[in-house]
Chains A and B, each alone.
Chain A
Amino acid sequence: MQREADTAAPKTTGPTGEPAKTRAKGADDEAAIARLRTAGLRRALGINGVRAVLVVAWLGAWELSARHWIDPFYYSMPSKIWERLVGWFTDGTSQGSIWEQISYTLQEAVAGFALGAVGGVVLGIVLGRSRFLSEVCAPFIKAANAIPRIILASLFVIWFGLGMQSKIATAFVLVFFAVFFNAFQGAREVDRNLVNNARILGAGRVQVLRTIVVPSATSWILASLHSAFGFAIIGAVVGEYSGADKGLGLLINHSQGTFDSAGIYAGMIIITVLALLAEWLLTLLEGRLLRWRPPVAGHDAAI
């Protein structure tokens, strides 16, 4: 996008007669760009280097203190956690293949996420655009939001049994509210000017909703989806924790039951990796959907 804007600038003198923003690029500019690029590379290298040092220092200190001063039975240690992870992926877990557990939890999280996101977006936009409905529903939504929703997981196990459905329901409840409030706010804060302009240009109610409200709310909704997928995984794992026959939550629960602290850490790491992967996918999606947005401020670096 940035590059597009750059090539655009010289043309602005042509048809419109308005002043161009940049002069033609000369050799000087190219040298400056090359300098900037090396500086950028060096900076990135520095940041990643410091990060690596921090991780090594942290893991090293942990390993060292677990060998000498603290009891690894309670606190475990990096080498044991690594061993457990390797064991799970090569020999399988107490509950069967690790891939089966991962896929089970992931299916629950994705299903709960999809249902919750769709539900949250639809209801958020409808209530955001209808004053009457939003005023009617406000106290109920506030009350529902105040319920400690994690506890619902126990209820869902009673309702839907030990299978996937109860976990999907827990993930759904967590995701729904996160997305709903953002979609609601996004639909409310649509620029009145844009709506009026669309009406003058001939848009009906549905067209205003589809072409103005939904795109306006998209950046709000996408922002909420980032945290929402984390919630979906939490929902699925907590659901499994309160009663399941498969899944990462069950694995962690089982590790707790056998005083296997390395197993708890190993489960945590797998879940973290899943959440980070999902986050990365969502960032890709966001970049695709919000291509029209100007690049973030402060993009111009001083040379």
Chain B
Amino acid sequence: MSQEASAQAPVIELAGATKRFRSARGGVHTAVRDLNLTVGPGEFVAVVGPTGCGKSTTLSLVSGLEPPSEGRALVHGRPVDGIPAGVGYMFQNDAVLPWRSVLDNVATGPRYRGASKADARAKARDWVERVGLGGFEGYYPHQLSGGMRKRVALAQTLVNEPSVLLMDEPFSALDVQTRGLMQDELLRLWSGSGAAVVFVTHDLEEALVLADRVVVMTAGPATIKSTFTVPLERPRDAEEVRLTPEFLAIYREVWESLREEVQITRERGAGRAA
């Protein structure tokens, strides 16, 4: 599936993309360097790498929140300048509006895009239902559990029907059971949507459960080390699939590549601590 997908015109294309920041001490910090990545329509790509290596920066380049310092970032074949049309982004931390009810939170996107209040709410009601929050339309975020807030964030992003979905460790703050549940939800909602997904995580298991392709990044400054195709059938059950021998085989293979980078990051951390 992924081969077919990437044969078509890519939805996301990073070519030699590099991002540098000015560091707090006045030096220059390179977050990512020379990234080359293409994602086809409907393809689910997971990006894994050691903690703090610059995975999130990759998403900022695609989303237009940060322009690349060098190289190119293209979405739908057009250079990213401002926020490209059709991009949805789910952040690591809660970004739901605490002063809006669940329904109004989900209706936010359509309202920004000029829908009337009634239309936006009707659309939002449908999505609140789809993410399993029917009956909670009137609640404020602080009245919900962490998993339910993630569902609100998911509905808020998906209600805009993005063709490019960027996810930055969206489930990392959840407990293991809730995370498994949310992974299943995500697969269910994504299947048939035709959206290209870039899912950043430090959890290799999560990456393999979800993705068609897993990209391993090096320790910072990050660049792409290797890419693996995940040979698992869809539809997948997030809980079941991790017990299959195919899963364990691909896990071993990718971990071999990821382990070195994790090791490097750990040694650096130890050096800094000493």
Residues of A contacting B191 with CB < 8 Å?
Answer: none
Task: Tell me, rounded to whole Å, the shortest Cβ–Cβ distance linking B145 to chain A.
Answer: 6
Q: Is the CB of A15 within 8 A of B134?
A: yes
**Interface size on A (CB < 8 Å)?**
32
| Distance of A15 Cα from B63 Cα, bound (Å) | 33
**CB of B132 closer than 8 Å to a CB of A:** yes
**CB of A257 closer than 8 Å to a CB of B:** no
- Assuming the contacts A16-B151, A18-B178, A201-B156, asked whether A215 and B143 have C-beta atoms less than 8 A apart, the reply is no
Q: Is the CB of A16 within 8 A of B143?
A: no
Q: Is the CB of B63 within 8 A of A200?
A: yes
Q: Is the CB of A16 within 8 A of B147?
A: yes
Residues of A contacting B89 with CB < 8 Å?
Answer: 196-197, 200
Q: Is the CB of B145 within 8 A of A18?
A: yes
- Assuming the contacts A15-B133, A200-B83, A200-B87, asked whether A292 and B108 have C-beta atoms less than 8 A apart, the reply is no
* Interface hit among A5-13, A37-45, A248-256, A258-266: A5-13
Q: Is the CB of B98 within 8 A of A293?
A: yes
Interface size class of B (residues with CB under 8 A): 35 or more
Task: Tell me, rounded to whole Å, the shortest Cβ–Cβ distance linking A295 to chain B.
Answer: 9
**CB of A207 closer than 8 Å to a CB of B:** yes
The interface bits of chain A over 60-94 (1 if a CB of B lies within 8 angstroms of the residue's CB, else 0) are 00000000000000000000000000000000000
Q: Is the CB of A200 within 8 A of B97?
A: no
Q: Is the CB of B143 within 8 A of A197?
A: no
| Distance of A215 Cα from B108 Cα, bound (Å) | 14
Task: Tell me, rounded to whole Å, the shortest Cβ–Cβ distance linking B124 to chain A.
Answer: 12
Tell me the chain A residues, 190-227 only, with Cβ under 8 Å from chain B: 191, 193-194, 196-204, 207, 211-212, 215, 218
Tell me the chain B residues, 214-259 only, with Cβ under 8 Å from chain A: none
| Distance of A294 Cα from B141 Cα, bound (Å) | 9
Q: Is the CB of A16 within 8 A of B148?
A: yes
Pick from A15, A16, A17, A215 the residue with the most CB of B within 10 Å: A16
- Assuming the contacts A11-B135, A294-B142, asked whether A197 and B95 have C-beta atoms less than 8 A apart, the reply is yes
Q: Is the CB of A292 within 8 A of B95?
A: no
**CB of B91 closer than 8 Å to a CB of A:** yes
Tell me the chain A residues, 1-56 only, with Cβ under 8 Å from chain B: 4-5, 8, 11-12, 14-18, 21
| Distance of A4 Cα from B102 Cα, bound (Å) | 14
Q: Is the CB of A292 within 8 A of B98?
A: yes
Across the interface, name the chain B residue whose C-beta is closest to A212.
B97
Task: Tell me, rounded to whole Å, the shortest Cβ–Cβ distance linking A187 to chain B.
Answer: 15
Across the interface, name the chain A residue whose C-beta is closest to B100.
A292
Tell me the chain A residues, 149-201 only, with Cβ under 8 Å from chain B: 191, 193-194, 196-201
Task: Tell me, rounded to whole Å, the shortest Cβ–Cβ distance linking B260 to chain A.
Answer: 32
Q: Is the CB of A14 within 8 A of B135?
A: yes
In the complex, besides A197-B156, A215-B97, 8 extra interface pairs with C-beta distance below 8 angstroms are: A8-B139, A18-B181, A193-B95, A200-B83, A201-B112, A202-B113, A215-B99, A291-B140
**Can you list 21 A-B pairs, Cβ within 8 angstroms, ordered by A?**
A4-B143, A8-B136, A11-B135, A12-B148, A15-B132, A17-B181, A18-B145, A18-B148, A21-B145, A194-B95, A198-B108, A198-B112, A199-B65, A200-B88, A204-B112, A215-B97, A215-B99, A292-B98, A292-B99, A292-B100, A294-B142
What is B's interface to A at a CB cutoff of 8 Å? Answer: 63, 65, 83, 87-89, 91, 93-95, 97-100, 108-109, 112-113, 132-136, 139-143, 145, 147-148, 151, 156-157, 160, 178, 181
What is A's interface to B at a CB cutoff of 8 Å? Answer: 4-5, 8, 11-12, 14-18, 21, 191, 193-194, 196-204, 207, 211-212, 215, 218, 291-294
